[in-house]
Amino acid sequence: MRIWSLHPKYLDTRGLVALWREALLARHVLEGKSRGYNNHPQLDRFKKAENPVDCINQYLVIVYQEAKERGYNFNKDKINWKFVPAKITVTTGQLKFEIIHLLNKLKTRDIQKYNKLRENKNFDVNPMFAVVDGDIENWEKIK
């Protein structure tokens, strides 16, 4: 499971579709409707929020908006639109890690997108995240 802190506009088609599915699964976990992935470390930052389910619905809205902008037909009825907006923090180290991780994925999956992004110096984050100084999250598996 990868719940990207980066804005979903940087993802290739395959990555955006996977993110949608994984965020829906994450919501089920946070709602207590699934036993699988219950202790997945990528969910920790949502679990720490005042209302984790609202946060994941907010996250899903941003993914949905990106998909809609691209002309994809994601089902908006899968989102509970009555969420209270919130901010979750993400560290500068985590963002740097995700940028490298994404570029490595794009190098093999979508060379055109990779070539477009590899020289990019400033990557936007998903708007629900507030950037703070810090290292890579301790839940990342670094190879």
- Domains of the chain (ranges; CATH) run 8-132 (1.10.440)
For residue 37, pLDDT beyond 80: no
pLDDT at res. 70: 97
Q: Which residues pair with 130 in a beta bridge?
A: 89
Bridge partners (DSSP) of residue 90 are: 131
For residue 113, which amino acid is it? Answer: K
What are the tens digits of pLDDT across the range 43-55? 989 999 999 999 9
| pLDDT, tens digit, 9 for 90 and up, residues 97-133 | 999 999 999 999 999 999 999 999 899 999 999 999 9
State phi, psi for 59 to the nearest 5 degrees.
Answer: -60, -45
8 Å CB contact between 91 and 134: yes
What is the pTM assigned to this prediction? 0.93
Residue 119 or residue 67, greater confidence: 67
Q: Could you give the CA distance from residue 123 to residue 138 in angstroms, rounded to a whole number? A: 22
Question: What is residue 138's predicted lDDT score, i.e. its pLDDT?
Answer: 86
d(CA 93, CA 96): 5
What whole-number distance in Å separates Cα of residue 84 and Cα of residue 121? 32
